[in-house]
Amino acid sequence: MLKMLIAAGFLGLMAGCSSDQPYTLPDKPVTDSVELKWSAQIKPLTDKYCVSCHATADFVKSGAGYLAGGAKGRVANNNMPLAGSAAATAITAAERATLAGFTGQ
């Protein structure tokens, strides 16, 4: 009787392990998506216009830092790059819109 219970349990366990569906990896964390988009869309612009003055700031190091900091709002409000700076005269309206509109989505 004990052997039959063990065999039945083993068969039940094995049946639960088999599947016709292939195993798929879970989706990547949202932060990976944000970082990929940040590195493609925003980092080139922060490297071009921000790093010369803000090299140690979190917003130029990662997408999470950019979204958490206030840089996005300062760019949107035309407070950065600083008026009169080379970056302020060089940045285009399209680049400013890209920096100001980044959500990571």
- Of 91, 102, 92, whose CA–CA distance to 64 is shortest? 102
Q: What global pTM score does this model have?
A: 0.66
CA pseudo-torsion sign 79, 84, 90, 94 = positive
The residues, any chain, with a CB within 8 Å of residue 43's CB and separated by 6 or more, are: 60
| pLDDT tens-digit map of 29-56 | 545 788 888 899 999 999 999 999 999 9
Contact 38, 62 (CB under 8 A): yes
SS3 20: coil
In this prediction, the residues of the chain whose per-residue pLDDT falls under 50 are 5, 7, 9-11, 13, 25-26, 28, 30
User: Residue 24 has what pLDDT?
Assistant: 55
Predicted confidence at residue 35, as pLDDT, reads 86
Residue with tokens 């950019």: 66
What is the DSSP secondary structure assignment for residue 9, as one 8-state letter? H
